[in-house]
Each structure stands twice: as structure tokens, then as C-alpha cells.
Amino acid sequence: MIRALAVDIDGTLTDENRVLCPISVKAVRSLKIPVVLVTGNTHCFTRAVSVLLGTPRIFIAENGGVVSHSEKEMEILADLALCQTAFHELSKAFPLEAYESSRYRFTDIALKRNFDVVAASRYAEEHGLNVEIIDTVFAVHIKDKRVNKGTGLRRIAERMGLDLLEFAAIGDSGSDMPMFEIAGFRASVGNSTPELVAASDYVAKAKYGEGFLEIVEHMKENGMLQ
């Protein structure tokens, strides 16, 4: 039995323009178990989404760099200075443009998708930069390589007193892979990357929010949810 959901936001609960899908809101509100939002977006953004969806103030932001346990307790698990150093170094070789949302970030830097991510990742490794560069489809992030959505989920599960196998992870991109590797059930929406599809126990035919609804219905029909 699944006792909590770990759910990505952009591309999973939203459409391709990052607009929240009404049908996914309805699906979230139909659930009787906690929904933990897991995203690359900022803490303030994720908190606002949790308020609007009616989910707990228990969530993971900035790809694992920030974990919220309650309205009053937030943990910073990554080092922004590493990302800032990497940004300045990478800017010597690539036309990096940071999003304005960076001023709200505690642990990573979000960039526009206007450069070769593979080449930049190789450059970072060759120059000994202790960061990971990930493409979440909606943005590219420079992040502390010690954290990811999986490390965040481990921390959340520990504090919630749940086994990781009691979580279902739902997402759409490679940044969701670390939580897919440790969750008890993994499902991807129809617009997901091939990498995530290959790691999924269930792949929705529908895309975006409609895909999320399909996954929830599949889990209910198969006795995985109350």
C-alpha cells in the first residue's frame, strides 16, 4: 500500500506552458494520503503551490537543495557558493543566462536553455567543479552534486516516519530519476523523457496533468491507494 506520493510539478501537474492543469488539481484533492511536491523550483514558489493545492508544507525544492518539513522548519542541504563559482567559470566558455527567479534561490542557479548542456557538463567535470548540470526541460540548473530529488526524499521519508517503499514517485524528466531509484512505485506522464519512461512501473498514455490523473486512477484501480 502506498502511503504518500512524491510528485514533480512542471510538466507533471502543469501543461507544456507551466500552467497548472485543473484536472490534476482535482486528482490531488481526491487523495487521502500526503502529497509531497518535489521540484526544481524555488521554496517560495513551491510553498505557494502547496497552499493552492491544499497539500502539506512538506516538500522538496531546488532539486533537493531545500527541504521543507513544516510551515516553520526548512532545511538547506546544498551550497550555493559552489554553484556561483561554477556559473562564473562556465560563463567563460558558454553564453549562460540566469533566470530572474535566481534571486529567490537558496542553493542552485536556474538558466535559460540556450547552450550545450552536455558540453557544459563535460567542461565542469574537466575543471573540477563540484556541481551537476541538469536539464529539467523547462530550465537548466547548476546544482550541488551532493543533493538531488532522491536525497531530499530520503530526508522527508525519515522525518515522516515512512519507508521509501511506501512512496510512489511521479514525474516527467531526468531530474526525477533519483527519486524513482528509491521509491516503491514509479510512474511517468505521457510527455516524459525516454530515460524516465524506461525506469517507470507505469507510463500514462495521456500527457501532463491528464497523465497525472490517469496514474492516480490506475493506482486506485489496482488497490495501491485508499
Q: Residue 114: pLDDT above 80? A: yes
Query: Is the same domain home to 24 and 49?
Result: yes
CATH code (residue 9): 3.40.50.1000
Please determine, for residue 137, whether its predicted confidence score (pLDDT) is greater than 90.
Answer: no
Mean pLDDT for the chain? 96
Q: Is residue 112 part of a domain?
A: yes
Model pTM score: 0.94
Whether residues 161 and 209 fall in one domain: yes
Q: Same domain, yes or no, for 138 and 160?
A: no
Verify that 64 and 10 share a domain, yes or no.
yes
Measuring CA to CA, how many Å separate 107 from each of 26, 90, 151, 173? 32, 17, 14, 20
Is it the case that residue 226 has pLDDT exceeding 80?
no
Q: What is the mean pLDDT of residues 56-69?
A: 97
Cell numbers linked to 28: 490531488
Domain residues for the domain of 210 are: 4-72+153-221
**Tens-place pLDDT, residues 84-112:** 999 999 999 999 999 988 789 999 999 99
Tally of structural domains, the chain: 2
Q: Residues 6 or more apart from 220 whose CB is under 8 A from it? A: none
148-176 pLDDT tens trace: 999 999 999 999 999 999 999 999 999 99
The one catalytic residue among 8, 135, 144, 172: 8
pLDDT at 31 over 90: yes
Percent of the chain with pLDDT over 90: 96
In this structure, the answer to whether residues 135 and 89 fall within a common structural domain is yes
Give the Cα separation of 165 and 3 in Å (integer).
Answer: 9
Domain edge (last residue) among 144, 165, 187 = 144
Does residue 176 have an active-site annotation?
A: no
